[in-house]
Structure 1
Amino acid sequence: MTDLVTRPAPPRVGPVRRATPALAGYVAVRALGVIVLALWSAARGTSPHTLLTARWDSLWYTRVAALGYGYEVRLPNGDVHSNLAFFPLLPWLERLGAVLTPLSYADAGLVVSTLASLAAAWGIFAVADHVYGRRVGVCAVAVWAVLPVGIVQSMAYSESLFTALAAWSLYAVLTQRWVTAAVLASLAGLTRPVGVAVVAAVWAAAIASYARDRHAPAAHGGPRRALGMFLAPLGAAGYVLWVGHHTGKGPLGYLDVQAGWRNGFDGGYAFARFIADKFTSFPSVLAGVGLVVGVALIIWLYVVCVRQGQPLPLLVYAGAVTALALCASSYFGSKPRLLLPAFPLLLPLARLLARGRPRRSVAVLAGVAVASAVYGAWWLNGSGPP
C-alpha cells in the first residue's frame, strides 16, 4: 500500500487552469443529461424543473429549510417518516440562498447542488491528479460524470454537496493538511449519514501517520493531526446527539428515526433477500442477474483499488461508503445513488482510459454519456424515487 503522498505535488500551473479540461468535460456531460431530460419530459408532459427540484428527497430538504425540523408523515401501516432523517447542511444552504436571493428554497437547492457538483468534479480531479497524474484526473471526472445515475448530480439532492466535501477532505489528507481535512469531514458529517466514511478516512490516515512518525524524531505536525482527529467527527456526532436529545430517546435516537423509514444496517441481509427474490419468477430473473453482476463489479473494483495500492484514506473511504450502501436494509432502488460518492472505485477505470488512445477514450466516454443521459431521463420520469 502506498504512502499518503504518492506523487510529488503537481507543477504550479494554476489549480483552475490545470483542472479546466476535466471541468469542461464535466459541464458538457451534465448539460447533455439535462437537455435529454428536458426533451424526454416535454414528450411525456412532465416538468424537468419539478423532477430536479421538487420530488422525493428534494421535497424533504426544502421542508426542513422552510419549516425546520419536526415535520413527519404517518403512513397507514404505522411507519413514521420524520424529516429528522435528513441531515441539515443542505437545508441550511437552501435557506441561506433563499434569504440572500429571490430564489425559492427549491431553486436555491438546485443552485447549491449545481455549484457543489462542479466542486466535487474539481475535488475528484485533484485527488486523482495527485495520486496518478493529470490525465487520470481528467478521465476520473469524466467517468464519474457519465455514471448511469449521474443525473442525481444535477438534482437538488445532497450527493453532490457530500461528494465535494469528501473529495476535498481526502485531498487535504493526502497533502497532510489535517485541520482542513477535519473541518471538511465535519461538514460532510452534517450532510449525510455516510459522513462517517470521511471521518474514518481522516482517522485512519492520521493513525498511520503517527505510526510512521514514531521512528522519525524530527517529524512535525503531531498537534495538527490530533486536532484534526478531534474535529473530524464533530459534525456527524453533533447532529446525531441533537436528534437524540430532540426526540428524548438518548444518543441513539437517530437510529429510531431511521427505523421509522424501515432503514438501518443489517450487514446486507435484506438486500441479499431482495436479490434472491428476483430469481423466483422468470421475468425478474434478468434483474436478479443484473444485480448480482453489479454487486460483483463493485467488489471487484474495490479489490483492484487495493491491488493497485491506492492510498489508505481512499481505500477506507471507498470501503465504508460501499459497505454502508450495500448493507442498508431498505430502499434497494436507491443503492446506485448511495454509491455515487464512492469515486475512488472509479480510479482503476480512469487509469485504463488514460492509457488508451485519446480518440478511442473520448469515443467510449461520449457513447456512455449519451446512454447515461437517456437512462437518467427515463429514470426520473419513472415512478421513482432515485
Structure 2
Amino acid sequence: MLDNCSVTDLVSPAGTDAGAPGPRGAAAARRALRRAAPALLVYAGVRALGVVVLAGWGQVAGKSPHQLLSARWDSLWYSRIAEEGYGHTLHLSGGKVHSDLAFFPLLPWLERLASAVFPLSAADAGLVVSAVSSLFAAWALFLIGERQGGRRAGVALVALWAVLPVGIVQSMAYSESLFTALAAWSVYCVLTGRWVWAGSLAALAGLTRPVGAAVVAAVWITAAVTWWRGGRRVELRTLLGCVLAPLGWLAYFAWVGAREGSVTGYLDVQGGWGNGFDGGVAFGSFVAGRFTGGAWPAGVGLLVGVALVVWLYGVGVRQRQPLPLLVYGGTVLALALTAKGYFGSKPRLMMPAFPLLLPLALALARLRTVRAVLTVCAVALVSAAYGAFWLHGSGPP
C-alpha cells in the first residue's frame, strides 16, 4: 500500500462526506469516530496507567501527582498567562532573562476560556484541554495510520504514540497534546485534499508552538508539488489554505516583535532563555561532553537515540510515505535536533513527530494479535514507570 503512494494520491475528490458540512458530514464523522473507538480506548488505557503509576510513585515520594501534572515548570507559565496575561519576566543569574512571551498563546487562551465557563482553576483547565486534545490527536493518528496500512496499523500508531517514554507529557498541562492534535488533523486534511481546513488548523498550530512552522511547511510544499504535477493549475481552495496556514505563527511573531520593538523580538526572547537554533552545534557539544568522565554511557545512549530517530525517518522515506508526512515529520525532527537550550527537553520536542512511528506501527500491525497486545502492554508498563521517574526528578521535561 505504501509503495504505491504518490503526491497525486494525496488529494481525494472534492465534496467527500468526511469533509462536507451538514448531516452527511456529521454522519461520516460519527462513523469515523466509531471506527476509531478501539484506538481511543487503547490510548485512554495507556495514559490512565501512566497516571496511576505516577500517583503510586507520588505516594511513596511524598509528592502530589496533581501538582506534578498541572503546576510545575512550563505549566506554571501557561496558567499565569491565562490568569494575568503576558508581562511576567524573571531576571536570573548569568544574564538569562525568562519572559513569558516565549510561550505561544493558544493554550492559555483555552485555559482562560475553560476556567471562565467551568469551576476550574487555570491549571486544572490546562489538564482538561490536554486530555481532550490528546484524544483528538489519537483520533487523527488513527486515521493517518489506517490510511497508510489499514485499521490495525491505525491502532498500532496510536498505541506507539501513547507509550512513548515521554508520553506522560500528554497528560500534563503542556501544549504538546494540543499542538499534536492540530498538526495531525492538518496533515490529515492535506492527505485528503481539504486545503482550507488544513490551512486553518495549521494557523491554530502556529498559535500553539514555534514548531508550527513544520505544519506550514507540510501544507506549502505539498501544495507546490501538487500544483507542479497537476499541470500548474491552482485551485482557489488550495491557494486559500496556503494563505491561511502561516497566519497564526506570523501573527504571534509580529505581535511579540511589536511589543519588544524589534523585528527579531521573539528570537531575542528565546535567546534570553538560552534557546535558539545553531544547526545542532550546541547539541553536538553536549553529546560530546557526555563522553568525558563517567558519563560516557549517557553519551552512547544519546547517540543511539539520535541514530534511531534518523533511521526511522529514513525507513519512512524508503517506504514512500506521503509527502505531507515526510515534510512534517522531517521538519519537526530537524528543528528539535538543531535547537540549543535545555537538552533534557529534546525527547519532548520530538514527541509531535508521529510520522517517525509509522514504520514501527506497520511492523506491529503485522504481528499476531496476542503478541502485539503483549508487546504494547510491556512497553506501556516501562513507559509509565519511566514517566513517573522523570517527573519526580529535579529538572523539567
For Structure 1 versus Structure 2, the TM-score category normalised by the shorter chain is over 0.9
State the alpha-carbon separation in 2 of the partners of residues 7 and 362 from structure 1.
Answer: 34
Residue 316 (structure 1) aligned with residue 335 (structure 2): no
State the alpha-carbon separation in 2 of the partners of residues 222 and 129 from structure 1.
Answer: 28
Residue 237 (structure 1) aligned with residue 250 (structure 2): yes
State the alpha-carbon separation in 2 of the partners of residues 37 and 274 from structure 1.
Answer: 29
Does the CA-based 8 Å contact 1:6-1:130 persist in structure 2?
Answer: no
Residue 285 (structure 1) aligned with residue 296 (structure 2): yes
Q: Mapping of 1:1-386 within 5 angstroms?
A: 2-3=6-7, 5=9, 14-214=31-231, 222-250=235-263, 252-281=264-293, 283-386=294-397
Q: Find the counterpart in structure 1 of residue 25 from structure 2.
A: none
Does the CA-based 8 Å contact 1:22-1:142 persist in structure 2?
Answer: yes
- Cα shift at 1:127: 1.2
Deviation per residue, 1:85-107 (Å, 9 max, x gap): 00000000000011111100000
Amino acid across the alignment from 2:256? V
Amino acid across the alignment from 1:129? E
- Cα shift at 1:5: 3.1
- Cα shift at 1:6: 5.8
Q: Secondary structure at the match of 1:176?
A: coil
- Cα shift at 1:384: 2.0
Deviation per residue, 1:112-170 (Å, 9 max, x gap): 00001000100111111122221100000000000000000000000000000000000
Amino acid across the alignment from 1:106? A
Does the CA-based 8 Å contact 1:4-1:312 persist in structure 2?
Answer: no
State the alpha-carbon separation in 2 of the partners of residues 265 and 162 from structure 1.
Answer: 20
- Cα shift at 1:356: 1.0
- Cα shift at 1:2: 2.2
Does the CA-based 8 Å contact 1:7-1:132 persist in structure 2?
Answer: no
Amino acid across the alignment from 1:119? F
Amino acid across the alignment from 1:364? T
State the alpha-carbon separation in 2 of the partners of residues 38 and 367 from structure 1.
Answer: 19
Deviation >4 Å, runs of 4+? 6-13
Amino acid across the alignment from 1:230? V
Deviation per residue, 1:305-351 (Å, 9 max, x gap): 00000000100000110011111111100000000000000000000
State the alpha-carbon separation in 1 of the partners of residues 183 and 172 from structure 2.
Answer: 18
Amino acid across the alignment from 2:262? K
Does the CA-based 8 Å contact 1:4-1:175 persist in structure 2?
Answer: no
Unaligned runs of 5+ in 2: 19-27
Deviation per residue, 1:220-274 (Å, 9 max, x gap): x711111111110000000000000011112x21000000001000010000000
Does the CA-based 8 Å contact 1:186-1:233 persist in structure 2?
Answer: yes
Mark the CA change 1:169 to 1:4 in structure 2 (over 3 Å): closer, same or farther: farther
State the alpha-carbon separation in 1 of the partners of residues 222 and 145 from structure 2.
Answer: 17
TM-score by length of 2: 0.93
State the alpha-carbon separation in 1 of the partners of residues 244 and 11 from structure 2.
Answer: 27
State the alpha-carbon separation in 2 of the partners of residues 278 and 171 from structure 1.
Answer: 39
Unaligned runs of 5+ in 1: none
Q: Secondary structure at the match of 1:77?
A: helix
Deviation per residue, 1:346-380 (Å, 9 max, x gap): 00000000011111111111000000000000100
Q: Secondary structure at the match of 1:274?
A: helix
Question: Alignment identity in percent?
Answer: 62
